[in-house]
Structure 1
């Protein structure tokens, strides 16, 4: 998939500069953090716009560093004041969206991983004439909730792609690890994998607690030696799976969604077969820039369709090129 639908010279330029090959999100459950950012190429706030970004980030999950890095760079480039906040608890994320509405920001970018729980607060934004764009999660729900645009990966397609690849490699009994209950993105990934690799079994773990993830997977792998692939849906969970696999004496191969510097190194070393990247940096960048262009010019990025930033396979054939960018939070 490509970013060919992206309109606007500024967005096209950044995509070219980044030279990023295209590719959900990584979820969990810890505490809220808040960050106000601006500055850089243009003076912070020089555009006159304040944009709020609200996500379901689990603090400590490196995936979100890339989302924020992209959003902050866009804010600098456009002279936007960026207000970032997050909470993995759906009801608390809804409160953060409502807080942004009450503070009269000019635009809101939000993840929609639990769309039903966020519908009321998103409606409050649209009722207040505040434009909303979705990113990272909620590709099938964003228009129903009233969001104007969406930037992310089609998680069903991504899951199916993973399933097809491991099925072609001989997978008979993959284990798909869901690390946040109720996440539509994670469920779509596992459902896609199962559609292509029918022997896929799901397991629920507590993504907020790495030691719990490791022990749960270790017990499962020790109990069932027929598991031949472990599909993790976030880079930190893949690291937990590698520990569990070794402790259980399992020969299962590990594949994952999403990327960080550690997992990129594991791919290069051959310990992780491949990663499916959705380019979170691009998601963060385009979410902020699209709102800026909408507010300034009335631009509609994507023409009423989601802008796809993935999926893309990262494996031994391209890891040498991609690895350096993982260390700067741009890939």
Structure 2
């Protein structure tokens, strides 16, 4: 028995059980679809992800996100969605806009084109509410994922796939305490984005040290680098930088070097480059919400509803995280993170 292995927090144990149950259900769904399919070719030969093609009627689903151009996190979301669509005989129409009013317009455009279902993120729920209500009133099946954990039900959306961002933040704060951190800088790359705000709020609650919030603009990474550098130079007592996305964490590596700071970097979310940063010790750990799984479940849940009126979660969120990735387990998931199937 390894006596040095870190004990899971109660929040992590609960999430682990729910994600394990979810994974078994997903595997059963994929197997069932493969057995009842037409024997079509797998979506990605050699990837192990193909399960044949369902013989259910062809459907069109719109996936509409708040993706920031250049953020490869969304490649993982999209890969999961495309994998489910290929299995489910679905045409996937992916679109995104970082600005909430424009994202709402994309929802209306999807309705106008008479798609069979919509999967969307609710990063700024108030701005999205009228478009979501229009979809609900039109009887178009709609699911939320990734952002909007606390808001989706009030908007009439029946299913949600993602992590409890406040819980994820609390878990991160507890780990910071266990790591011996004293002062953390929590970097929010988009002020007003509900998932990001909830993460930092959770860090503040879970961390027994001092937490300071720093707002930056993720669309201008050179500015992000300069702002974090200046903050670290101004306050040498900061011993941990908490990034809320892989691009910010990777940028913070240079900021720490610029400031000649001894601060350690931790983050939420992963991408291929972050895998190497964790292996090298430049980033200590990441909170993983399994974006591939979010995209997959969002599309697959709509297929289940359209063909069998199934809903997942019984009206409650279906959690895909949080889980921690660090040097102790990075090798086991590195291949999947880099191939876009994590």
Using structure 2 for the length normalisation, give the TM-score.
Answer: 0.86
Match of 1:101 in 2: 111
Deviations 1:89-108 (A, max 9, x none): 01100000111111111100
1:304 to partner: Cα distance: 1.0
Deviations 1:246-280 (A, max 9, x none): 00101000000001111111111111110000000
SS of 1:171's equivalent in the other structure is coil
SS of 1:327's equivalent in the other structure is helix
SS of 2:320's equivalent in the other structure is strand
Match of 1:225 in 2: 236
**In structure 1, what is the Cα distance between the partners aligned to 2:328 and 2:289?**
18
Which consecutive residues of structure 2, in runs of 5 or more, have no partner in the other structure? Answer: 1-14, 32-41, 44-49
Query: Which aligned pairs between 1:130-209 and structure 2 lie closer than 5 A?
Result: 130-197=140-207, 198-209=209-220
Residues paired across the two proteins, number: 308
Query: Which aligned pairs between 1:1-331 and structure 2 lie closer than 5 A?
Result: 1=15, 2-3=18-19, 6=22, 11-12=27-28, 14=30, 40=43, 47-197=57-207, 198-331=209-342
1:67 to partner: Cα distance: 0.3
1:126 to partner: Cα distance: 0.6
Closer, same or farther: CA 9–204 of 1 in aligned 2, 3 Å = closer
1:46 to partner: Cα distance: 6.7
Note if contact 1:264-1:323 (Cα within 8 Å) is conserved in structure 2: yes
Q: Which has the higher contact order (CA 8 A, sep 6+)?
A: 1
1:14 to partner: Cα distance: 4.9
Closer, same or farther: CA 43–299 of 1 in aligned 2, 3 Å = closer
SS of 2:150's equivalent in the other structure is coil
Note if contact 1:44-1:81 (Cα within 8 Å) is conserved in structure 2: no
Note if contact 1:11-1:286 (Cα within 8 Å) is conserved in structure 2: no
**In structure 2, what is the Cα distance between the partners aligned to 1:305 and 1:46?**
27
SS of 1:200's equivalent in the other structure is strand
**In structure 2, what is the Cα distance between the partners aligned to 1:312 and 1:247?**
31
1:233 to partner: Cα distance: 0.3
**In structure 1, what is the Cα distance between the partners aligned to 2:217 and 2:54?**
38
Note if contact 1:232-1:255 (Cα within 8 Å) is conserved in structure 2: yes
Closer, same or farther: CA 203–71 of 1 in aligned 2, 3 Å = same
1:47 to partner: Cα distance: 2.7
Note if contact 2:165-2:195 (Cα within 8 Å) is conserved in structure 1: yes
Note if contact 1:149-1:304 (Cα within 8 Å) is conserved in structure 2: yes
Closer, same or farther: CA 10–324 of 1 in aligned 2, 3 Å = closer
Note if contact 1:5-1:302 (Cα within 8 Å) is conserved in structure 2: no
Deviations 1:51-92 (A, max 9, x none): 000000011101000000000000000000110000000110
**In structure 1, what is the Cα distance between the partners aligned to 2:337 and 2:303?**
27
SS of 1:262's equivalent in the other structure is helix
Note if contact 2:133-2:156 (Cα within 8 Å) is conserved in structure 1: yes
1:44 to partner: Cα distance: 10
Note if contact 1:71-1:288 (Cα within 8 Å) is conserved in structure 2: yes
Q: What is the CA RMSD across the aligned residues, in angstroms? A: 1.9
**In structure 1, what is the Cα distance between the partners aligned to 2:111 and 2:263?**
47
Which consecutive residues of structure 1, in runs of 5 or more, have no partner in the other structure? Answer: 16-38
